[in-house]
Amino acid sequence: MKFLEIIKDEKGQFSSKRVAGILCTIMLCVTMYHNSFSPLEVAPSTALVDAVALLAFGALGLSSVEKFKK
């Protein structure tokens, strides 16, 4: 499957940073979609959303830097 090739590193092993980054991105998108239909009182805190976004960006960014570093 093509998706499994995306989360593997250059050695063919699964990259935990890529898996974590993709999961954070998916959960962030699901949360934002869900909150577009919910009242403002039940929205997650801005700090929590920012933390998940930074974690996803960091995990995927570090994985990319390592790939081009070698």
pLDDT tens-digit readout, 40-56: 888 888 888 888 888 88
Q: 7: which DSSP letter?
A: T
pTM of the model: 0.69
Length of the chain measured in residues: 70
Residue in this structure with the two tokens 């962030």, named with its chain if needed = 28
- Secondary structure of 10-52 as H, E, C letters: CCCCECHHHHHHHHHHHHHHHHHHHHCCCCHHHCCCHHHHHHH
More confident residue, 68 or 19: 19
Tokens encoding 61: 């960014």
Is the model's pLDDT at 66 over the cut of 70? no
